Structure 1
Amino acid sequence: MNVIFNPSENKENKYIDMLVNALKTAGYEVVPLDGLLSSWKHFKSIQLVHLNWFENLDESSKGATLKSFFRKLIALIAIRLGNKKLVWTMHNRISHEKKSGKWSNILSSLLIRWADSIVIHSEESRVRLSEISPIFLSKVVHIPHPDFIGIYGPILPSAAHELENPIKLVFIGAIKPYKNIELLIRLARKFPDSIDISIMGNPNTPEYKNEIQELGKGLPNLHLKFEFIQDEELPEILANSDLVILPYNLESSLNSGTVILAFSYQKTVICPKIGTINDFGKVNSAIFSYDYSTAEEHFEKLVDRINLALELRKTNPLIFEEMGQAMFSMVQEQNDKAIAGQKLVALYSKLLGGQPGGKA
């Protein structure tokens, strides 16, 4: 049975591979969205369409944004008129992007209304949907975000860090404005001797790359690696770091695969209380989490978390390893990738009225 899981592949995110492989193992033929309207025969063969990040639009220019919007709108209308089962995964609270936010929100509204099922990875997503309208809650299916244990290679022993050495912090992921990279540069400036910050990933535009480079000039404890991080590099990067720091925007962020990645490799995080963090409430003491209301308060809370980390390490030099172990145990239990795949297969089977693979 043909189904669309979009995107069907993503070199930068193994999340896609894990779920697509689970579907293929269950007997589904997973095809890309781009060919949806390639022929009438192919269109008729598609039974279900599952969309991820579909509301995100091309922001390279105003024309590109509008073109991207109308292409996606046409695809949504075709799915609707063709009576295809529609599944949407709610990854974010609202669009991260300011330029295309208006158009993105239109797509999000249609996805919420037209989807047969809405997959969520955190309970906060359910709250967000109830705020829009309680009628949408009947569509919600909670599937845990799959763990990344072993996906990028084995967990390596943490590098030995002397107590007098700076705490090594790392940011990993696409470099985008909503991730508040500027705050990390301010932190490096405020704690020149006690922290060491590495920022690793691809900037979303050359302009933003130049802006970050300019802001970070002259800071010996700031290390910028502006390129895609290869899969095989991740275990060593994480092993050589004490903490992963992710100062996300609470207005738009709900879930974070990077948080799950850190926990999967026995590292804890400094991160706002987004949905992913809140779902680990039972072991919240093993996460440097925080809330904030304004941009300046965000920075103050980050400073507070750094000071707490410094104090805790004085008391217990192994505290970061112990916190990382606690989060590894929790993600192993709560985010089992095999269970996530099974739940997705079960959802498809239910929507298609048959067994896995669409067989009645």
Structure 2
Amino acid sequence: MTTFTVFPNIKANNKGNSNPYIKDFIAAINNTPDCKVINPSHKNPLLSIITPKKWGDIIIFNWYESIPDFKHGYIQFFIAYILLICMKISKKKIIWVLHNKKPHAEKKELLKKILTSHIANLSDHIITHAEEGLEIIEKKFPSCRNKAHFIDHPTKNRMYLTKSDKEIVKKYDLLIWGSISKYKGVYDFIKYLNDNKINDLKVCVLGKCNSELLVNDIKSVSTPNTTLVLKSASFEELAEYISFSDFVLMPYKHDTILSSGTLMDTLSFGAKVIGPDTGSFSDYSKNNDLNVYVFNKFDDIKDIVKKHHDTKISEEGYSKFLEENNWNAFIRKAISLITSHQ
């Protein structure tokens, strides 16, 4: 039996919400023969793995470099730094999953840079979900390049939830969905439409925003053709909105985004996607099985909509991609990678 520790395994909140990536990661490991995750979920995922009895043979860190953003971030930074050294001394195999170019939050940058360098050098393997992640490692940590590997971000197949084009009349040119944060560029894009008096694009924003200030900013620049649905949506509800939209737009800023769970969830519905020319978006814009289009500036988006408005997706191509990159396939690839580089 090979044991695993997966960080951060955060306990679900009062509404039962937890990080779907971590939840699926743990489930996929536990569904693999002779593999088991031994660290339970906890409201403080770092403190919950301080004791060696919670250390598996393989320890997988996600967003390790963002630990300073946790509550009592300076203390947790110190704990994380020492903990990694102790795990290395104990000869545990350490895996770092590199998700972003840098943490989205802009505070405590020095501490985050220290942790990034720390785990890059002490990890046995680095997994990234974007080809650009390999370039980042080679540039910032050239001695670590040989232990960095690209594996597609795992996804699911939810195409059965969406309606075919024959069944529906499109209501929106662009759907922007997901939790609304500053780095996702929602306000910037809506403001761009307003400032440039672009009134021929019908846009729907679907998602919850925890910042009342950001919500008010978005409302203040919304155009008559912008529909705001500021709430979380189930996957069934999301499928409806995607069915009624020509494209899903992710107006993310280029400076932090590398791979995106929202992108993979969107592809799982068989949607056409527009996103920044960076990371996974760039990778999948070159994949002939998918309809992913990239922009360098907001001016590009209207041209993409006009050019590919009538382009149809290949259901066969999407299904092939989604099955080849489901969670079980990801875990098989990851474990094979780890065990073949002992």
| TM-score higher than 0.5 | yes
User: Per-residue deviation at 1:148?
Assistant: 2.1
Q: Does 1:54 align with 2:64?
A: yes
CA contact (8 A) 1:188 1:222 kept: no
In 1, Cα distance between equivalents of 2:143 and 2:161: 44
Closer/same/farther in 2, CA of residues 194 and 127 from structure 1, 3 Å limit? same
Closer/same/farther in 2, CA of residues 305 and 289 from structure 1, 3 Å limit? same
In 2, Cα distance between equivalents of 1:18 and 1:285: 23
User: Which structure's relative contact order is higher, taking Cα pairs within 8 Å and 6+ residues apart?
Assistant: 1
Closer/same/farther in 2, CA of residues 242 and 326 from structure 1, 3 Å limit? farther
In 2, Cα distance between equivalents of 1:145 and 1:193: 35
Q: Does 1:174 align with 2:182?
A: no
CA contact (8 A) 2:68 2:112 kept: no
Pairing partner for 1:136 from 125, 135, 144:
144
Pairing partner for 1:342 from 314, 328, 332:
332
The residue identity in structure 1 corresponding to 2:302 is: I
Query: If the length of structure 1 is used for normalisation, what is the TM-score?
Result: 0.79
User: Per-residue deviation at 1:225?
Assistant: 2.9
Q: Secondary structure at the match of 2:119?
A: helix
Q: Does 1:195 align with 2:205?
A: no
The residue identity in structure 2 corresponding to 1:268 is: K
- Tell me which residue corresponds to 1:244: 248
Q: Does 1:111 align with 2:104?
A: no
In 2, Cα distance between equivalents of 1:15 and 1:327: 24
Closer/same/farther in 2, CA of residues 232 and 284 from structure 1, 3 Å limit? closer
Pairing partner for 2:31 from 21, 25, 32:
25
The residue identity in structure 2 corresponding to 1:101 is: E
Closer/same/farther in 2, CA of residues 112 and 260 from structure 1, 3 Å limit? same
1:92-107 residue pairs with structure 2 within 5 A?
Answer: 92-107=100-115
User: Per-residue deviation at 1:108?
Assistant: 1.1
CA contact (8 A) 1:2 1:29 kept: yes
Pairing partner for 1:37 from 22, 46, 50:
50
The residue identity in structure 2 corresponding to 1:17 is: K
Q: Secondary structure at the match of 1:169?
A: strand
- Deviations 1:94-138 (Å, cap 9, x if unpaired)? 222212332222211111111111011121111111112332122
User: Per-residue deviation at 1:259?
Assistant: 1.7
Any stretches of 5+ residues in structure 2 without a counterpart?
Answer: none
- Tell me which residue corresponds to 1:2: 3
CA contact (8 A) 1:201 1:227 kept: yes
CA contact (8 A) 1:92 1:254 kept: yes
User: Per-residue deviation at 1:224?
Assistant: 2.5
- Tell me which residue corresponds to 1:258: 262
Closer/same/farther in 2, CA of residues 14 and 154 from structure 1, 3 Å limit? farther
Q: Does 1:267 align with 2:280?
A: no
Q: Secondary structure at the match of 1:250?
A: coil
User: Per-residue deviation at 1:309?
Assistant: 1.4
In 2, Cα distance between equivalents of 1:326 and 1:169: 24
In 1, Cα distance between equivalents of 2:316 and 2:183: 29
Any stretches of 5+ residues in structure 1 without a counterpart?
Answer: 292-300, 354-360
Give % identity.
23
CA contact (8 A) 2:202 2:225 kept: yes
Q: Does 1:15 align with 2:21?
A: yes
- Tell me which residue corresponds to 1:232: 236
- Tell me which residue corresponds to 2:88: 80
- Tell me which residue corresponds to 1:155: 162
Paired residues in the alignment total 326
CA contact (8 A) 1:96 1:178 kept: yes
User: Per-residue deviation at 1:270?
Assistant: 1.3
